[in-house]
Structure 1
């Protein structure tokens, strides 16, 4: 009877634990990063001696839970990280290409160029009149402000990108430090235990978060500890079993970006091909290219209109002074020469007299030859086309990533229908084990009563 009691008791303990595991799965069905747990149930073996020094293993001693396993699929998890890095890069790039579009279009520089030349045409129709000269001067100030505000908006975008890059680098370093702590915990955790499963869940959450910042290469050891390289298999180690790297981000006005990982006295460069950092690198290059195009356009426009003014004659029949100036090194400092007034606009050509319009006609011809408006519109159009393409790519990559996540969750996530069946099955087994105990007690009591 003692064997029957112990078998029933072991079964009750076993299925009580199994019910707890199933309940934990159900409770965490919606917990991000949670992987399904399963109780490892084994038969309790019993050995009997059949001769001196000889034993035989017999069954019939009940069951016990030897541990709790965690569902995992390394290939599907790697696919989630890879597709997530691709998506994060494209989405980050889209943000900054969109910012460029806002800077180029939001300050209406193209419209201000067109309005300036329209006012110049009106002045050519009546070069001696004061009103069209005043209007042209005001439109010139508006145009200069348009150049400057567009350049300032691009500079602001570059500064914000640099700040976001620094924040992302700091976050990546913090994630690496957290992963090192998880690695240390896994060293101490017992195999097939609930604490180990919890640590492994947190490990995978950290790896997914890292992937959103940069593409990573991960190697696992027998304890489940992760060694992470940033930027791919040849990139620097940013988290190992004991140490995490210090991550830094720096960008220059030329669009160059440097991302480094430092360990003690060693510093290595990270060259991401995925994740937010790769998108920031793309964005920095695009912003720098847009600024350079704008600066070249502003300088060419200023230089050529200055030369045109010098070759013309004002209402006072004197050579014209520069209408536009760039007082610094780029278009952010573009303005209308504060020394010029409406009479100082050189509308006449040399030899025409103060009331001629030859220089305004030359400006109209220069407008066609230099095609400043077309050059700027090309920059805007190219950026808009790239933005539309990247958005389409992001949509496709989003679908790929969602499919990868669904495939992984299907392999390691909680199926509520399956867990409901497990609850019923384990409950019935628990009740049956309890019934075995009751039967054993009844038999024992019957024997006692007979005696």
Structure 2
């Protein structure tokens, strides 16, 4: 009986010591990013009773069956999915805000209004030199604001593409690390401490990937993971110890696309998708700005060609360029403005050509077009901001739910320390009692 008690107490003490070690590990890693709380799993140890009753089973203590990570696969998948959506929305809003600043803060709208106002003032005295000079100056300022806006949009595009390329590099780095973790997991002992550490690394790498791209994880029997991009039917990014290579290509309009080992890849979520969407909006905004600048050049130069300048010469083009980046005032003097109709004498005060120019600008409505462009961008920013806030809230809720399950509660661990310490001491006491009983039996005369 004493020997049986000793073996039972020994197994209990070993389990209590292992539980104490895990509790200490949980406490020391309570604030570690990606750490999942561990618990010890044990089962009853049974043994045959002996020759008298060979089929009877007696309990003979406990045995350690493994270490359990308190992480739910579904909740982890939700954290990745909602986190990817939030990252996409956040990246898109940041890009749109930069686009809005580029077209609004450069003052293109105000410069167009000022140019049209200077033409209206010139109608009162078409031969006045100061009014003519004001028209040229306002036209030059308008052209320069278009140039600055185009340059600012180019800078926004370069920044977004740089961040996207950095994201692609990060995806390739993390995918490579995940492939190496898969190799180590395939060789790790089942339910070992090394395996649980590798599983933490695996899940942390998956979460890092989800910040950049939408990934779907499939867990294999050996605890390794296969990762696809673009849903369950997408392309394989990681399989076993092999990682595919993600690459980015830039189109002529500045938009981006992705390939995985040379094949076109669809990325619908994560930071890369958000930056791709922002670049699409940027290309559309730049196209509209170029069209507006080209329209102003066309309208003004067409009106000039139908009139004569202050010296009675045929009107020449005031602007050059085909878009916002290269529009420029090319008139060298205030007399170059063709305010009078064709055939008028030098110094004519007839503003027919100027009136035709103003009518053409009114019909083209460049100020209204620019205002619509600004409103479109601002509305996109406002709408995407609401979406971003909602998705961020959902992602936060999913993360809190996972943390409640997988995180370390220091109060609970403190209770476990006391409980497992008492269990260890109790098993030690059982061994002492068993020893005393055995000694007593030996001492019988």
Match of 2:19 in 1: 18
Contact preservation (8 Å) 1:147, 1:298: yes
1:304 to 277, 282, 299: 299
Q: Matches of residues 416-431 of structure 1 in structure 2 within 5 Å?
A: 416-431=410-425
Structure 2 CA distance for aligned equivalents of residues 251 and 280 of structure 1: 12
Structure 2 CA distance for aligned equivalents of residues 295 and 57 of structure 1: 90
Structure 2 CA distance for aligned equivalents of residues 94 and 364 of structure 1: 38
CA RMSD of aligned residues (A): 1.9
Please give the secondary structure, in 1, of the residue aligned with 2:253. Answer: coil
The answer to whether the aligner puts 1:369 opposite 2:363 as a matched pair is yes
Query: 1:14-57 deviations in whole A, cap 9, x for unaligned?
Result: 20111111221222222222212111122333335417xx9446
Contact preservation (8 Å) 1:67, 1:193: yes
Structure 1 CA distance for aligned equivalents of residues 429 and 168 of structure 2: 61
Contact preservation (8 Å) 2:299, 2:357: no
Quote how far apart the aligned CAs of 1:332 are: 0.8
Structure 2 CA distance for aligned equivalents of residues 305 and 330 of structure 1: 14
Match of 1:41 in 2: 42
- Using structure 2 for the length normalisation, give the TM-score: 0.94
Q: Matches of residues 94-105 of structure 1 in structure 2 within 5 Å?
A: 94-105=93-104
Please give the secondary structure, in 2, of the residue aligned with 1:45. Answer: strand
Quote how far apart the aligned CAs of 1:363 are: 2.4
Match of 1:389 in 2: 383
Q: Matches of residues 206-217 of structure 1 in structure 2 within 5 Å?
A: 206-217=205-216
Match of 2:323 in 1: 330
Q: Matches of residues 50-449 of structure 1 in structure 2 within 5 Å?
A: 50=51, 55-56=54-55, 58-262=57-261, 267-326=262-321, 330-337=323-330, 340-353=332-345, 354-356=347-349, 357-446=351-440
Please give the secondary structure, in 2, of the residue aligned with 1:44. Answer: strand
Query: 1:179-227 deviations in whole A, cap 9, x for unaligned?
Result: 1011111101111111111111111111111111111121111122111
Structure 1 CA distance for aligned equivalents of residues 251 and 151 of structure 2: 16
Structure 1 CA distance for aligned equivalents of residues 42 and 241 of structure 2: 35
Contact preservation (8 Å) 1:85, 1:215: yes
Query: 1:246-299 deviations in whole A, cap 9, x for unaligned?
Result: 11111223254220111xxxx221101111121122111101101110111111
Quote how far apart the aligned CAs of 1:447 are: 5.2
Contact preservation (8 Å) 2:247, 2:259: yes
Structure 1 CA distance for aligned equivalents of residues 100 and 260 of structure 2: 33
How many pairs are equivalent? 442
Contact preservation (8 Å) 1:4, 1:437: yes
Structure 2 CA distance for aligned equivalents of residues 428 and 381 of structure 1: 70
Structure 1 CA distance for aligned equivalents of residues 175 and 58 of structure 2: 49
Structure 2 CA distance for aligned equivalents of residues 256 and 130 of structure 1: 47
Query: 1:391-424 deviations in whole A, cap 9, x for unaligned?
Result: 0011111111111111222233223333233222
Quote how far apart the aligned CAs of 1:108 are: 0.2
Quote how far apart the aligned CAs of 1:427 are: 1.6
Please give the secondary structure, in 2, of the residue aligned with 1:331. Answer: coil
Structure 2 CA distance for aligned equivalents of residues 122 and 302 of structure 1: 20
Please give the secondary structure, in 2, of the residue aligned with 1:414. Answer: coil
Structure 2 CA distance for aligned equivalents of residues 355 and 122 of structure 1: 17
Structure 1 CA distance for aligned equivalents of residues 157 and 141 of structure 2: 24
> For structure 2, which runs of at least 5 residues remain unmatched after alignment?
none
> For structure 1, which runs of at least 5 residues remain unmatched after alignment?
none
Contact preservation (8 Å) 1:321, 1:340: no
Match of 2:28 in 1: 27
Query: 1:156-188 deviations in whole A, cap 9, x for unaligned?
Result: 222222222211111111111111011111101
